[in-house]
Structure 1
Amino acid sequence: MNGILGESVAFPLNIQNSKEVQSIAWTSESSVAVITPGDSGKAPTIIVTHNNYKGRIKVIQKNYDLVISDLKMEDAGKYKADITINSTTTKIYYLHVFRRLGKPKITQSLMTSMNGTCNVTLTCSVEKEEKNVSYSWNSLETESNVLQVIQTPGNQGLNYTCTAQNPVSNNSSSISSQQLCADITTDSHTHHTGLLSGLAIIFLAVLILPAVLLCHLRKRKQDAASENIIYTCAKVSKDTQPAEAKIYDEISQSKMKKTKTLGNKPPKVSGYEMVI
């Protein structure tokens, strides 16, 4: 027997003389419930003997068929009904619980494009992968969930439909061949745009970086040259014109060292040398 997760399942007893039923004991891995007929045509009495089934069991009055509602995955398994009518008859059931399948998802991978031809791998899958789920593609003779597609300009009007099926349900999803190639074209354009942007940034860096380094080196040279300048003061005689009383000259440190050897006294700390 097959049941659907969250829905109900009925166990048919097919009792010929239901009015003669004395009791029905249901068991699975443990006791489930005991059913006894009601008095004077009243509904049968149900005694649930396992907490897992409380509030989920009912009995169809006419034939005593057992109904379990709100099925859970753990409800799957072997069920046994011991029917007592003068003597005891046993019936055995095997319950399987499945999910009702939603729309399968089609994903694309290993996409390549060359000379207008698209080579794509399609994979079909359901949200929660389970056992006993089979897949098929259109009228193709394949039961795999993977399909290899070679799309050429001549067959762009095709649709690829995947159908997922289990013992209680089936569902389908489709994708067009035009959509496949369009996705590849978009991805390729995006890739080329990103590549060109990267090359442009590298080219600008190659142009700007040397100029920045050159300016930095030139500034350092200018700073070094300015530090080597020393000012000297020459005092002239009284006969010299007032406007020419003092003459300033710039000499380098190398000249200063030569001047040092001429006199016995070292130059003053102020950096000025007096010449008479």
Structure 2
Amino acid sequence: MAQHYLWIFLLCLQTCLEAVESNTDIITVNGTLGEPVTFPLCIQELQQVTSIAWMNSKTSVALVVVPGSGAAPQVTVTHENYYERINVSHQNYNLEISNLRMEDAGIYKADINIKTSKTKSTITRSYSLQVYRRLGKPKITQSLMTSVNSTCNVTLTCSVEKEEKNVIYSWSPLGEEGSVLQIFQTPNNQELTYTCTAWNPVSNNSDSISAQQLCADIAMGLHTHHAGLLSGLAVLSLFILILPSVFLFLLCKRRQDAPHQGDASKHNLFHSAVL
């Protein structure tokens, strides 16, 4: 019977919740995947709170009953998705959800019932829970490398392994934002180190790359290219020099062999006539 009245009570609370005026302030709460998150109630008259009904946009979450006289609040979790994950502070009745999941994100509301010696009232708190992954170390990749007049032109791209919403990238020491950075590196600033920092509302992480490393890669590539070009030219020059010499040698040899071939023909003709 008590459970039956409890569900009727929660249904009434939900109906009242849907009738709350649309201009209710919504508090944004940012949580980290797999970690706990706290919904602050910010109530001054704690000694006058009798109960708190928590729900999200789809279902009820928990019912908190305050016995009074400094006793610990009694918490009833009303949905299986939150079993063993709900905790209520004894000091301020803030709600905590542990082991946060991505599907926990959404709109939450708390109906706080307050009783004074003269009146009874309900205060509504609304929250927008956003769940984010803690960012890993970003990766810097380079592309479109060119070198003109001792200037190293490189495009750097910064990315995280699992791209998340609301990720912001910034570069130091240039102070630019965005995941892509174009650099025109000159010999005068070879000592710089470029650092990309990825941010989201719950974490940040960074990675760095030195200007010397970038331009050294380009210089090595150019050196390899030039070395290959010089080797090719050397082989071509050698081929051009040797080919005429071989041709002249073969021509001279052919001319030297021609008289001997004529004498042999005459000798064979005379021998045939005698016979």
Aligned to 2:209: 175
Change (3 A) 1:22 1:156: same
Q: How much has 1:169 moved relative to structure 2? A: 2.2
Which SS does the other structure have where 1:161 is aligned? strand
Which SS does the other structure have where 2:176 is aligned? coil
Which SS does the other structure have where 2:177 is aligned? coil
Whether 2:43 is the aligned partner of 1:12: answer: no
Matched to 1:25, the amino acid is A
For residue 159 of structure 1, the aligned residue among 189, 193, 202 is 193
Q: C-alpha offsets along residues 63-89 of structure 1, whole Å, 9 cap, x if unaligned?
A: 211011111111111110011123322
For residue 27 of structure 1, the aligned residue among 40, 45, 55 is 55
For 1:132 and 1:191, the matched residues in 2 are separated by 42
Listed as ranges, the gaps of 5+ residues in structure 2 are: 1-28, 115-119, 236-275
Aligned to 2:157: 123
For residue 3 of structure 1, the aligned residue among 18, 31, 38 is 31
Aligned to 1:93: 127
For 1:121 and 1:92, the matched residues in 2 are separated by 45
Query: Do the aligned partners of 2:53 and 2:111 also contact (CA within 8 Å) in 1?
Result: yes
Aligned to 1:82: 111
Q: C-alpha offsets along residues 128-168 of structure 1, whole Å, 9 cap, x if unaligned?
A: 11221111211435322111112222221111111221222
Which SS does the other structure have where 2:198 is aligned? strand
Matched to 1:154, the amino acid is N
Which SS does the other structure have where 1:22 is aligned? strand
Whether 2:94 is the aligned partner of 1:52: answer: no
Which SS does the other structure have where 1:178 is aligned? helix
Aligned to 1:67: 96
Which SS does the other structure have where 1:70 is aligned? coil
Which SS does the other structure have where 1:122 is aligned? strand
Which SS does the other structure have where 1:183 is aligned? helix
Higher mean displacement: 145-154 or 114-123: 114-123
Query: Do the aligned partners of 2:50 and 2:67 also contact (CA within 8 Å) in 1?
Result: no
Query: Do the aligned partners of 2:53 and 2:63 also contact (CA within 8 Å) in 1?
Result: yes
For 1:12 and 1:177, the matched residues in 2 are separated by 47
Matched to 1:155, the amino acid is N
Matched to 1:98, the amino acid is Y
Query: Do the aligned partners of 2:169 and 2:177 also contact (CA within 8 Å) in 1?
Result: yes
More helix by share: 2
- Higher RCO (Cα < 8 Å, 6 or more apart): 2
Matched to 1:103, the amino acid is K
For 1:193 and 1:73, the matched residues in 2 are separated by 55
Query: Do the aligned partners of 2:144 and 2:154 also contact (CA within 8 Å) in 1?
Result: yes
Change (3 A) 1:190 1:56: farther
For 1:193 and 1:5, the matched residues in 2 are separated by 53
Aligned to 1:249: none
For 1:154 and 1:17, the matched residues in 2 are separated by 65
For 2:189 and 2:126, the matched residues in 1 are separated by 55
With the length of structure 1 as denominator, give the TM-score of the two structures.
Answer: 0.65
Q: How much has 1:14 moved relative to structure 2? A: 2.2
For 1:132 and 1:181, the matched residues in 2 are separated by 32
Matched to 2:211, the amino acid is S
Percent identity reads 65
Tell me the matched-pair count.
Answer: 201
Listed as ranges, the gaps of 5+ residues in structure 1 are: 201-276
Whether 2:137 is the aligned partner of 1:103: answer: yes
